[in-house]
Amino acid sequence: PGAGPAPAKKVEPPPEDDTKLREPRPPIVCVLGHVNHGKTTLLDAIRKTNVVAGEAGGITQHTGAYQIEHKDHKITFLDTPGHAAFSKMRERGANITDIAVLVVAADDGFMPQTEEALSFAQKAGVPVIVAINKMDAKGANLDRVKQAMQQHGITSEDWGGETLCEPVSALKGQNVDKLLDAILLQAEVLELKANPKCPAEGVVIDSQVEMGRGATATVIVEKGTLKPGDALVCGAHYCKVRAMVNDRGEPLKSVPPGTPARLLGWSGAPDAGAQFHTCKNDRAAKAEAEAAERELRQVSHAENVVERVADLNALLAAIKETKQKVFRCVIKGDVHGTVEALEACLMDIKSEKVQMEIVAADVGPVSPNDVIMASAAGAAVIAFNVKLENGVASTAKHKGVRVIQHDIIYELLNQVREAMAELLDPELRENKIGAAEVRQVFPLAKGFVAGCMVTEGRVTRAGHARILRKGATLYTGKVDTLKRFKDDASEVRAGFECGLHLGGFEDYQPGDIIESFEILQMKASL
């Protein structure tokens, strides 16, 4: 060894985010777009055609994320299409998506959810690549989509803008490889890097409780590298990593940054969107999780106390606002992530007249027990992407519990909105059907009758009427006598004379206008 200062031995470990320690990592991509524009089909097409070499076979499971290899580069896809899941994750501060693929069906063009998804991505500062899907379909119109892109400020590259855009057919697998090229190109621009050597940290994408396997969670590592045996904490749950598998159930030896894996060995199912980190050992992980749980309990205890104090006020307010209706529901969904996304969407339904109250939310098929619980709470059951167990339909009928079930969130929410609106009393609306002018007043044995000329529409005996004198309403009531000459009539049309009497009014004068109207019951809206 020659002269020169000996390399200083670093005592402190360098900050783990030191840029020199960072290495390139795969991009994390989510797929957004309007319902039925082909998000699921695209995710399946990408997964099918690009299985990482040598890993063919195995049963694929939709557990929230998967990784493919394209031209020697890895790409990670979030496998929960739809922006509800995306926005829920962001709400928790999990800013995990690097690139958003906005799927637009070429035969349908930009739709409300397309715009919503675009604005989500833009607000999150996530670059968008547009996949113009269904190019094989009749009525596919590429230029119309590009025009809409231009109108929304994401002009396609070939139109002089900066947004990558690829016409594809997810159904036929056409041009999907070009879309993947575009993703790699965008990823290169973003220069995505992370330190693979520090203790692992990341985000929970989804979790489920499986028969015989206990709680499992799909995570994406953000930095560091996960290995079997690692001890993790995520909120009130901890995990001694017993096994790590990919979306095909194949074991993984290590999970570097930007990579998804399903982890076995959790104490319970952590929340989608929650952050996890590595601990020294199992004991430390368990202790930290238990401390977090105690804290949670204290918070909820404190909330209880506050609630009780607030009770009296709430009661008073409730008496004042007896008009406020409550729509209660029990939620069932296929996986943790969708249940949470659904809860968020339901709470998002804005109505001043009906309040949404979620009684319970859980993963799994709808069981007769769910129906019994809903019945006890006066609630409806809302089922997303899950089946009804045997006996549910009959129990629901017997107990009078409404079960709203759909596999498309958009449709499900529409049905919920309708059910909420049904709680409201119908709105009454007046519909003018005609008018008559008083020409003469005839005395009767008791009181008077107005001799009128019907001037417009018709006057009916079944309807209501109001008397106007010089534009001011004198009286409103039910018609109790309507006569054509001496005979009772059910209605008299314009151009004919009639005798009219309203219950409870006697002071008719020539020149008064009698307006005839009916009251319609309109379905109330939220």
Contact 268, 207 (CB under 8 A): no
**Residue range at the interface with ligand GDP (CB under 6 A); choices 33-41, 68-76, 124-132, 349-357:** 33-41
50, 67, 114, 133: which one binds ligand GDP (CB under 6 A): 133
If the CB atoms of residues 134 and 152 are measured against ligand GDP, the closer one turns out to be: 134
Q: Which of residues 67-106 bind ligand GDP (CB under 6 A)?
A: 81
Q: Does 37 bind ligand GDP (CB under 6 A)?
A: yes
Q: Does 137 bind ligand GDP (CB under 6 A)?
A: yes
If the CB atoms of residues 25 and 39 are measured against ligand GDP, the closer one turns out to be: 39
Contact 169, 132 (CB under 8 A): no
If the CB atoms of residues 34 and 501 are measured against ligand GDP, the closer one turns out to be: 34
CB of 206 to ligand GDP, least distance (A): 17
CB of 108 to ligand GDP, least distance (A): 10
How far apart CA 51 and CA 68 sit, in angstroms, is 6
How far apart CA 166 and CA 134 sit, in angstroms, is 11
Tokens 């009427």 correspond to 465
- In angstroms, what CA-CA distances link 357 with 27, 174, 296, 331, 437? 39, 45, 22, 11, 53
3-state secondary structure string across 388-453 = ECCCHHHHHHHHCCCEEEECCHHHHHHHHHHHHHHHCCCEEEEEEEEEEEEEEEEECCCCEEEEEE
Q: Does 40 bind ligand GDP (CB under 6 A)?
A: yes
- In angstroms, what CA-CA distances link 352 with 349, 355, 411, 428, 526? 10, 7, 22, 18, 7
16, 21, 35, 122: which one binds ligand GDP (CB under 6 A): 35
Q: Which of residues 167-226 bind ligand GDP (CB under 6 A)?
A: 169-171
CB of 395 to ligand GDP, least distance (A): 31
**Beta partners for 260?**
220
39, 237, 240, 262: which one binds ligand GDP (CB under 6 A): 39
Number of neighbours of residue 54 by Cβ within 10 angstroms: 6
DSSP secondary structure code for residue 229 in this structure: T
Q: Does 136 bind ligand GDP (CB under 6 A)?
A: yes
User: What are the strands of the beta sheet with 403-406, ordered from one edge?
Assistant: 354-363, 325-333, 380-384, 403-406
Q: Does 38 bind ligand GDP (CB under 6 A)?
A: yes
If the CB atoms of residues 311 and 407 are measured against ligand GDP, the closer one turns out to be: 407
CB of 30 to ligand GDP, least distance (A): 13
Q: Does 385 bind ligand GDP (CB under 6 A)?
A: no
Q: Does 134 bind ligand GDP (CB under 6 A)?
A: yes
Q: Is 233 helix (H, G, I), strand (E, B) or coil?
A: strand
**Residue range at the interface with ligand GDP (CB under 6 A); choices 30-38, 208-216, 270-278, 469-477:** 30-38
**Residue range at the interface with ligand GDP (CB under 6 A); choices 36-44, 336-344, 353-361, 491-499:** 36-44
Q: Does 456 bind ligand GDP (CB under 6 A)?
A: no
Q: Is 310 exposed, middle or buried (0-12, 13-18, 19+ CB in 10 A)?
A: exposed
Here the tokens at position 372 are: 């019994």
If the CB atoms of residues 107 and 290 are measured against ligand GDP, the closer one turns out to be: 107
How far apart CA 286 and CA 284 sit, in angstroms, is 5
**Residue range at the interface with ligand GDP (CB under 6 A); choices 164-172, 198-206, 290-298, 318-326:** 164-172
Residues that bind ligand GDP (CB under 6 A): 33, 35-41, 81, 133-134, 136-137, 169-171
